Amino acid sequence: MNQVDYLRISLVDRCNFRCQYCMPEGADLTYALQQNLLTQDELIRLLQSVFIPVGFTRFRLTGGEPLIRPGVVEIVRAIAQLPETQDLSMTTNAFLLADMAQGLYDAGLRRINISLDSLQPEVFDAIIGHHGRSRWQQVWDGIQEAYRVGFNPLKLNVVVIPGVNDQEVLDLAALSIDREWHVRFIEFMPIGNDYLFSDRGWVSSEDLRQRIRDRWGLTDGQVRGNGPADVFKIPGAKGTLGFISQMSECFCDRCNRMRLSADGWLRPCLLNETGQLDLRTALRSGVPLHELRQQVRDLLELKPQINYKERDSGTTGTYSRTMSQIGG
């Protein structure tokens, strides 16, 4: 088991998109009340007094959509200025990024992951559940601005859905050839989207790699990051291709992360809520910080068996919570 030093921090559970795989139609979405979200001061206090002392030094800001969180630039600056912060990154849909990229970079953010599930505006809009004027161009402009500002690595996340966008895999992979962009293909998961998963299924990473090999060939690649992606590159390409294979390959033994939800729940596993801690309530109730540190240490010791519990049952299961509610 890897050292667990990476915390994914959800800043908000809401989003300005409603992606099929994240917030599907018909999903029971119950959002946290504003007063139940961790404040900036509470978040920084938890980082300084609980998480950093037990070994967390790498942080990723997620949502929902983190850029809709009021004061997100100030939150970035506060985390980036902590002396112990070794790495700070963000995952976003980039809809608001064109106007915010420079401010985020100046505040200390250096790495960014952007969801881009299609290069076809009509397919993109269908995936994000949007009707009306296309949002694709504004997202594309955000990607271009992030590249201009200097985010490196700049990663593009693609959730591959059979019959929806899997026919674009080669076009999306080609984005890595002439630009230092890092395209990551993510296997479709059954999290809060049972009906869609049952209808569509998923495409394995090896299937996608074979399509790319047949077109260009593939060699081993490297890119900085904290995630479980297997990294390759098209020969001669400036960027890389990553494959996140949570359906076809168990990578629990490589898991180095925990997740802090926007309303302060600490979860050791994306697919298993065993042992989760309600840090917000504890903090506001005056539980001493040294006790919270010990609770997190205890959960860290339990994490390996929590990770394997679902896999050991022989099933992947389906989950009622949506990805936006979990925090990605």
278 within a domain of the structure (yes/no): yes
Q: What is the mean pLDDT of residues 253-279?
A: 88
Residue 87 has a CB neighbour count (10 Å cut-off) of 15
Strands (E), the chain: 6-10, 58-62, 87-92, 111-115, 154-160, 181-187, 219-220, 230-233, 240-244, 257-260, 265-267, 277-278
1 within a domain of the structure (yes/no): no
Q: Locate 48 and state its tokens.
A: 């300084």
Helices 136-149, 97-107: axis angle to 10 degrees equals: 30
For the cut 90, the answer to whether the pLDDT of residue 147 exceeds it is: yes
What is the domain range of residue 302?
A: 6-326
Report the percentage of the chain scoring pLDDT > 90: 70
Place 194 in a pLDDT band, splitting at 50, 70 and 90: low
Query: The domain that contains 110 carries what CATH number?
Result: 3.20.20.70
Beta bridge partners of 233: 219
32 within a domain of the structure (yes/no): yes
pLDDT digits (tens, 9 = 90+) for 199-233: 556 789 999 999 999 999 999 999 988 777 899 99
203 within a domain of the structure (yes/no): yes
Residue 31 has a CB neighbour count (10 Å cut-off) of 15
Structural domain count, the chain:
1
Instruction: Quote the pTM value.
Output: 0.90
177 within a domain of the structure (yes/no): yes
